[in-house]
Homo-oligomer: A and B are copies of this chain.
């Protein structure tokens, strides 16, 4: 069913326009220039061709099969257009048009859904910003430039979606799928290109249905949810712009927990956790060791881990014994501080020793390269340890140009890096279980 949205054989753009600044033009252009390989049919009663493609007065004039229709026409004619799509055999509708429950016109939205159901069509929207599948290059959205990755991002706010995609591009985060589901919803549990599902939710119409669907998905792959409208003012705003109730914060939190969904408080938090999950596996404990060559950042990591409810215990006597090769000035507590003298070899040997018994569940490795230390050698050394022990390692390599080259190297070797100590600690929490 989802395939009709993300892997259609052909797409009609109803409301495609010749005016360069219009939504109906930009969206068609994004599909064409994005590189989608299926057939594209612009629908516009007063144009012969748009962007070099033959235009059709109505979808019923297209001879070939149409799987997906993107609709950007005034809401007043939406029912008639939906009927034509149904008659044509369209399987999936993405309705960009506004003017439904978010504008106080809930009846029109119900009529649209009813019309779609009559023909067995699925609907994303109305009042949404479209969909993207990076794997087949279907950019059926006003958002055009996103990188390929393993995160699916579904947002109830189209504009927030655009802003988040732009922010993610700056942070080097890529996506498998993007869907702005406006007032509706989408399902991604069976999508092979998606490893983690991220969700921005404002209001939910049928709480039970949302809960059951989310719970089912979360059993199959990790789901991270950010919730807007938890405050009184935020909730009033949600009601006005999505036409749904934001609901009680405590109820949502309890439901997310029961459904096995991870709650994120900010945009950074959501994508940092998604990144941790893509690079590393979950473990059943919550005992973390912090290995560093610099005191300050490691202190901040330890502070945040304890604040989040995890344990940062000193090494066991056996582990301490194994660390006896270290020079006397090294602190063999936790954080384990190699000081500015820490070599790549010692990073690896110490992490080996720390992971040698079933004492720590995960590690955060901090590196602020002093003069003379090649951070890429530290990255290589760590990658070896990680592969052998299969315990999650999160990195926080901080500092200028040196690290700009090392972060991609770390991440190619499967170790995610975060730009500040507390973001590293917060990202790790999604992999751990509190004891």
Contacts and interface: CB of A to CB of B under 8 A. Distances in A.
Contacts of A408: none
Interface string A24-39: 0010000000000000
Count chain B CB atoms within 10 A of each CB in A102, A157, A160, A232 and give the residue with the most: A160
Q: How many copies does the complex hold?
A: 2
Interface stretch (A113-121, A278-286, A300-308, A375-383): A300-308
A237 B298 contact: yes
A240 interface: yes
A398 B166 CA distance: 8
Interface in A40-58: none
Given A233-B303, A240-B333, 10 more contacts: A160-B297, A161-B296, A228-B299, A228-B300, A229-B303, A233-B335, A238-B295, A240-B295, A241-B331, A242-B295
Contacts of A371: 21-23, 26, 142
A157 B337 CA distance: 13
A100 to B, nearest CB: 12
A202 B299 contact: yes
Nearest to A203: B299
A269 to B, nearest CB: 9
A316 to B, nearest CB: 15
Contact of A234 (B241, B268, B300, B313): B300
A213 interface: no
**How big is chain A's contact interface, by range?**
35 or more
Given A202-B299, A231-B302, A238-B299, A368 B160 contact: yes
A150 interface: no
A159 B294 contact: yes
A237 B159 contact: no
Interface in A320-341: 329, 331, 333-335, 337, 339-340
Interface in A220-238: 228-234, 236-238
A305 B299 CA distance: 29
A76 to B, nearest CB: 14
Interface in A254-304: 265-268, 290, 293-300, 302-303
A300 B399 CA distance: 31
A234 B155 contact: no
Nearest to A23: B371
Contacts of A159: 293-297, 340, 368, 370
A294 B145 CA distance: 20
Interface in A409-435: 419-423
A158 B312 CA distance: 23
Contact of A231 (B155, B157, B169, B307): B307
A294 B158 CA distance: 8
